[in-house]
Amino acid sequence: MPAPPNAAALKKKCALDKVLDILIIGAGPIGLAAGIEAKRAGLDYLIVDKGCLVNSLYNYPLNMTFFSTADRLEIGGIPFTCVHAKPNRQEALEYYRRVADSEALQVNLFEEVQGMRLSGDTYTISTSKREYQARHVIIAIGFYGIPNLLHVKGEELPKVRHYYFDPHYYYKQKVLVVGANNSSADVALETWRKGAEVTMVVREPTLGRIKYWTKPDLENRIEEGCIKAYFQSGITEIRETEVDIETPDGKVTIQNDFVMAMTGYQPDFSFLEKIGVQLTNDFKRYPLYNTETMETNLKNVYLAGVICGGMDTHVWFIENSRVHATQIVKDIVAKQEARA
């Protein structure tokens, strides 16, 4: 008599036996929005994510305040109420948790998609835990998982950080901040206010795109000398206790405990290439898709959210890509009706 299958084997078999209308990769705000649209259209769907719910937002700095107002971060028509007009990280996490609960969204977290293959009209999606079958796939992954590297000697040292969470850690430390935009400004100001000795290295001649309530603050701190800034400059080498900076006036070496490389992030192009989504051959790496339906060169595979912008990660945000969920589900429903 054969041994009964274990629970894991049964779960995998059930996942394979059931064919989903949509499998959504990414449980960020846009992935959740796609789940809401799918549910309201009566489609059988599942959302999977390799991290926690709205993983990118969870990894934002502890004290971060959004540039956008709460109403522009809403999904599914569910009101986002907060104390101030511009919500902070904690309020956003609370809101998206409430959305997932109130809509009873089908979400599997800490489950990484590793590949997918097409058999007839159905995709088999392999994850770190099991396999699924789905007629349509929506890729709504963000860009916060892969940092843009400096490509300088010493970048692999533990003192070099591409992510920032809380300023207290850097009390009484010599901190070098690389970058000129919002993240760099927040890191520089917050660590300085918590007792760090802060130096900034900015490739451009001036500060970049910074929140209007932050930029004057940083400019004043630089002008009065509280924060040292090297413009039109770049790091050439990082060592355990020093950093070399190439400035318009020549090389400068400064004492240093931590390097905060706030140089931005990029989508996981390797995953898109692995499954066959076409990308442009230039630096921008734009994925190819139909702007009306968001469908890629792969039949019934769609893109949603910031992934659509390639390396231009400042093109798509929550507020202007929420509509992708509606566009995609509308196209899927039309295809379902045509098949019926």
Q: From the CB of residue 224, how many other CB atoms can be counted at a distance below 10 Å?
A: 8
State pLDDT tens for residues 82-113. Answer: 988 899 999 999 999 999 999 999 999 999 99
Rounded-to-5 percentages of helix, strand, coil across the chain: 30, 25, 45
Assess whether the region 7-146+265-339 and the region 149-261 belong to the same CATH fold: yes
Q: Which CATH superfamily is domain 149-261 in?
A: FAD/NAD(P)-binding domain (3.50.50.60)
Instruction: Judge whether residue 145 has pLDDT over 80.
Output: no
The CATH number of the structural domain formed by 7-146+265-339 is 3.50.50.60
Residue 95 and residue 220 in contact, taking contact as beta carbons nearer than 8 Å = no
- The string of pLDDT tens digits covering residues 212-245 is 889 999 999 999 999 999 999 999 999 999 999 9
Strand pairing of 122-127 and 113-119? antiparallel
Domain boundaries, the chain: 7-146+265-339, 149-261
Residues 6+ apart with CB under 8 A from 316: 305, 306, 307, 308, 309
pTM: 0.86
33-69 pLDDT, tens digit each: 999 999 999 999 999 999 999 999 998 888 888 888 9
Q: What is the pLDDT of residue 293?
A: 97
CA neighbours within 13 Å on the CB side: how many for 28? 28
CA dihedral defined by 81, 86, 88, 92, rounded to 10 degrees? 40
CB 279 within 8 A of CB 271: no
